Amino acid sequence: MHVRDLRAFEWLPLAQACIAQCEAFATEFNFEEIDPVALQAALQLPEGQTLDVLLTPGAWNNLDRYARKKLGAEAADFRHQHPMSVSTALSTAFLSEEASQSLDETLWTFARSQGKTTTGVETFADQLHTLRAISLEQHIKSLTWLLKNFNRQKRRIKKMLQWYAAGDLQPLYKAAKKDAKGMRKILIYRRNKHMAKRFEEICTSQSLFCAVGAGHLAGDKGMLRLLKARGFQIKAMRP
């Protein structure tokens, strides 16, 4: 949902047709709420801390190697970057950037062109709160795992794109849960509850197309199960 790789755009025509039939459109958060200054600050390490000190020498060397190979940069360029920002940059490097916007941005732009009400099932502030709720130690641990398993993660992302294109939610959910190890409650479960509640609130007054990351949908604590418990009927859509 958050990438520009055209392999993730297989369902775009169906999504656009469904958006056209709805009154409102929601992404995870309202893109109009983005505060560039607050975002930039959130993606920086706290004053006085740098990645070359927080990472082990081996992990730092790996970062330099992969940054040069995949990003055309040096590890030193990321010294003050938040580890989640670095993890995202490295993971995104596995993907193509063929589209001018990410899939969710593309859907947002289409919904706006259709005159739909646009909103979010979270707020921009909620997203920043989620980032800050996870300890820096846990973020470092996650980045270290990625740097140690870089090629393995490349293969996993390729499989995830195949599952996404096929609409196969269960393995996508398991992959997202595995990636969020140690952070599942904050990154997935707590947000699922909030987003499902917000989904229901919006639907009391208007029909809604809601676009969220696939990792939020399946599982016992996924949005689909939560919405079903709230009385919604769930039906899979196919092209």
Share of the chain above pLDDT 90, in %: 82
Q: How far apart are the C-alpha atoms of 138 and 63, rounded to whole Å?
A: 17
Q: How many CB atoms lie within 10 A of CB 160?
A: 21
Q: How far apart are the C-alpha atoms of 187 and 109, rounded to whole Å?
A: 26
Contact status, residue 51 vs residue 137, Cβ threshold 8 Å: no
Q: How far apart are the C-alpha atoms of 111 and 24, rounded to whole Å?
A: 8
pLDDT at 210: 97
Residues 97-146 have pLDDT tens digits of 889 999 999 999 999 999 999 999 999 999 999 999 999 999 999 999 99
In the chain, where the domains are located: 6-229
φ, ψ of residue 85 to 5 degrees: the values are -65, -40
For all residues of the chain together, what is the average pLDDT?
A: 94
Residues 158-169 have pLDDT tens digits of 999 899 988 899
Query: No. of H helices and E strands in the chain?
Result: 13, 3
Q: How far apart are the C-alpha atoms of 59 and 46, rounded to whole Å?
A: 20
pLDDT category at 92 given cuts 50, 70, 90 is: confident
Contact status, residue 150 vs residue 66, Cβ threshold 8 Å: yes
Contact status, residue 177 vs residue 169, Cβ threshold 8 Å: no
Residues 5-19 have pLDDT tens digits of 998 999 999 999 999
Q: How far apart are the C-alpha atoms of 51 and 86, rounded to whole Å?
A: 10
Written as one string, the DSSP assignment of 44-59 is: BPPTT--HHHHS-HHH
Question: For residue 239, is pLDDT > 80?
Answer: no
Question: For residue 74, is pLDDT > 90?
Answer: yes
Q: How far apart are the C-alpha atoms of 193 and 199, rounded to whole Å?
A: 10
Residues 165-213 have pLDDT tens digits of 888 999 999 988 888 888 999 999 999 999 999 999 999 999 999 999 9
Q: What are the C-alpha distances in Å from 5 to residues 11, 46, 107, 111, 170? A: 13, 32, 14, 20, 21
Q: How far apart are the C-alpha atoms of 38 and 47, rounded to whole Å?
A: 15
CB-based contacts of 47, cutoff 8 Å, min separation 6: none
Mean pLDDT of 82-86: 95
Mean pLDDT of 143-151: 94
Angle at CA of residue 164, ends 85 and 9, nearest 5°: 80
What's the whole-model pTM score? 0.90
**SS3 label, residue 20:** helix
